Structure 1
Amino acid sequence: MAITNGHTPRRTTILVDLGGVLFHPPVKHTLVTTGSPVTLGRIMSTSTWMDYEIGILDDSQCFNALAEQFGFKASDLTSIIHTLRETTTYDKEMLSTFKTLKQTPGASVVFALVSNISKMDYAALRKTFDAEFWSTFDHIFTSSMLGIRKPSPRFYRHVLRALRAAPQSTFLIDDRQENVLSARSLGMCGTADLTGLQRRLTNLVGDPVERGMAFLRRQEGEFHSVTREGVVIEENYAPLLVLEVLRDRNLVNLKQPPRLWNFFSGTPKYTTKVYPDDLDTTSLALATLHYDADLTHSILDEMLDYVDEDGFVQAYTDKSRPRVDAVIALNVLVAFHMHGRAYELPQTLNWMLNILTHRAYIDGTRYYPTAEWFLYYMTRLLRASNDPLLRERLEPILKARVRERVGAAGDAFCLAMRLVTCQFLGIEDYQDRERLVDMQQGDGGWEASCMYLFPSEGKEIGNRGVATAFAVAALSGGGAGGGVDVVVREKVLGVI
């Protein structure tokens, strides 16, 4: 339902139930009968009460019929209902959630109250609840007004017609799952789970791209990578990822070295005090930053010194640390393809294609924990190469493998990377897009999902800036390494 291409959201209609959401009737209250005691909730579930709610019966007819059915005094029920009418209060915190939502920048939202309630009970609440409550809602629909109760689809159809609301842009908040199910059967969305409601509704009506970009701008380039324990890792790879996917130098702080790059920008952690430069970070920098052609080829020449006897690229510029990682090797291959030197790493390319063919990437690699890393970097290779034979060989099987991942479990970074990959390949993935939008946090960013591993120490490293940058690219239509659409990016940055 959220708009995912950076434009102003279309109007969202939010239908809010009354009892169970904005106030909570004492349904467990018990009435004494000639037989077993009966709760108020049981009484409200009878066909007699339902006829009362749609206006077929008045107070006297309803209460007398129920008294006869269950064996209690009609006056007892009358007393309970009259007391509730005079003393019921609404949930101010919940109402504040809705009022705040109406003030969300860029949001276009209409609130409608939808309730199964009798004419007399509704009239009483109109007097009991204050003007602040009633002014929050743009429209009110009750069962006694319509002569229809939820969960009848006719109730919702009437509301949709009256509001001229599209089902796919309408969201129901109700404490009863059967009411939500009926609404969903008409193409609406909804929930009976009130936990975390404010965040979910903000994600529903706000522009996720604009909110995500605002989060990134507020960080002023300080995107800290952290372990699950909260230890900060000062590193270069994360800002390079942000720069490549969004193509905005103002969003990152990077100090470019004379030649090769090191993963760490500060003191190395969970490793030796002296940490070697690596081909992974260097290759990402070559693909992202501007380099003089002679320097670029000089660096590529040096990288070839770290190819093992299998023809696979090593991870480090330290031959005493022999490490081969498929994603790192693929990243290096991207850099060589970008600069017309792919022919120098034929074994590495064949290995990548075999990994793709046999799904060897499915559980991640030594340093990169998800299949999405390999598939995303494969799309970068496809983008970087100008070899039509490689494209003919690679693209069909890559598309097939990416389609297999649609709908698979994943955290925010994983889903965002998957969506960016899908977009570059022209694959629709609505379900993961909606899941990603729903994960957006109140401050506009996404959680620091696991990006890579320090395997020797068993540490998982995440970065909110990277997760948010990829989510913004995914929801605004950015392709693999292609950045956010220019018009969208200039809009959210305030250029236009």
Structure 2
Amino acid sequence: MKNRPEIQHLIFDLGNVIYDIDYQRTFDKLYTRLPADKHPLVREFMVSPIHMDLETGKIDEPGFRNGVRDYFSADWEDTWIDEVWNSLLVDIPQERIALLLQLKQRYPLYLLSNTNSIHFKVVEQVFLQKLPENTWPQLFDHLFLSHEMGLRKPGEAIYQSVLQTMGAKPEACLFFDDLKENLLGAEKVGIQTHHIDHPKALIHFFQQHV
């Protein structure tokens, strides 16, 4: 890799790095079923304990859905809660799929995401649809998912666990994320980072460096 000859492993965040997401889509759906005086609860929900507990596997899917009902004091059906929760998942642009397949020929690829089991079922289906047959889940050498690991970015522990599983030196890894706090967490353990700050950023980076 140009300018970074020591890089041997590529680690990718999922949301807005590989998979486009839009929280506003979830917010808008929730607004349709909530009175105006409860609208401020919507954005606060994204940093609520119930959300964080799902992302770290402390609660299961039924526990999350019950938590949503309790949080909003609403008797919503399971299927609607899942629909709302998954509506923030937009799509994986085909050019990013093509890039990953190209990179796979040269580097081990890893996915590191703060995610949950409800979202990741949809994510897997989209990868299956977009990728050539029999290339999922072999596209990534390992899936590091917060709800399976019991850890979240930007805590140092998740990056240390990733490095231990990979058996890699931190300076030989390059991590892509759209949130600066997650990059800072990785940098604390010595991982090299690159900020993805616009939809074409990943494509442009590899056009310049490979």
TM-score range (shorter-chain normalised) is: 0.7 to 0.9
Distance in 1, matches of 2:43 and 2:165, equals 31
Give 1:57's match in structure 2, choosing from 42, 56, 59. 59
Aligned-pair identity in percent equals: 24
Q: Which runs of 5+ in 2 are unaligned?
A: none
Residues 1:150 and 2:158 are matched in the alignment: no
Aligned to 2:24: 28
Q: How much does 1:65 deviate?
A: 1.7
Distance in 2, matches of 1:42 and 1:25, equals 18
Which structure carries more strand by proportion? 2
Q: 1:41 to 1:94 in 2, by over 3 A?
A: farther
Aligned to 1:137: 140
Distance in 1, matches of 2:178 and 2:44, equals 16
Q: Is the 8 A contact 1:14 1:110 kept in 2?
A: yes
Counterpart amino acid of residue 149 in structure 1: R
Q: Is the 8 A contact 1:28 1:40 kept in 2?
A: no
Q: Is the 8 A contact 2:114 2:146 kept in 1?
A: yes
Q: Deviations over 1:208-239 (max 9, x none)?
A: xxxxxxxxxxxxxxxxxxxxxxxxxxxxxxxx
Q: How much does 1:39 deviate?
A: 7.6
TM-score, length-scaled by structure 1: 0.35
Residues 1:125 and 2:129 are matched in the alignment: no
Q: Deviations over 1:277-308 (max 9, x none)?
A: xxxxxxxxxxxxxxxxxxxxxxxxxxxxxxxx
How large is the RMSD of aligned CA atoms in angstroms? 2.9
Q: Deviations over 1:158-187 (max 9, x none)?
A: 111111121112111112111111111111
Q: Deviations over 1:431-453 (max 9, x none)?
A: xxxxxxxxxxxxxxxxxxxxxxx
SS in structure 2 of the partner of residue 57 of structure 1 = coil
Q: Is the 8 A contact 2:109 2:140 kept in 1?
A: yes
Residues 1:200 and 2:210 are matched in the alignment: no
Distance in 2, matches of 1:128 and 1:196, equals 21
Q: Deviations over 1:407-440 (max 9, x none)?
A: xxxxxxxxxxxxxxxxxxxxxxxxxxxxxxxxxx
Q: How much does 1:153 deviate?
A: 0.8
Q: How much does 1:41 deviate?
A: 5.5
Q: 1:68 to 1:22 in 2, by over 3 A?
A: same
Q: Count residues with an aligned counterpart.
A: 195
Counterpart amino acid of residue 97 in structure 1: L
Q: Is the 8 A contact 1:12 1:110 kept in 2?
A: yes
TM-score, length-scaled by structure 2: 0.77
Give 2:108's match in structure 1, choosing from 107, 110, 122. 110
Give 2:163's match in structure 1, choosing from 142, 160, 164. 160
Q: How much does 1:117 deviate?
A: 1.4
Distance in 2, matches of 1:144 and 1:200, equals 29
Q: How much does 1:55 deviate?
A: 1.1
Give 1:77's match in structure 2, choosing from 75, 78, 81. 81
Q: 1:196 to 1:26 in 2, by over 3 A?
A: closer
Runs of 4+ in 1 over 6 A off after TM superposition: none
Q: How much does 1:25 deviate?
A: 2.9
Q: Is the 8 A contact 1:38 1:70 kept in 2?
A: no
Q: 1:12 to 1:201 in 2, by over 3 A?
A: farther
Q: How much does 1:38 deviate?
A: 4.9
SS in structure 2 of the partner of residue 18 of structure 1 = coil
Matches for 1:412-427 after TM superposition, within 5 Å:
none
Distance in 1, matches of 2:21 and 2:76, equals 19
Q: Is the 8 A contact 1:101 1:202 kept in 2?
A: no
Q: Which structure: larger Rg?
A: 1
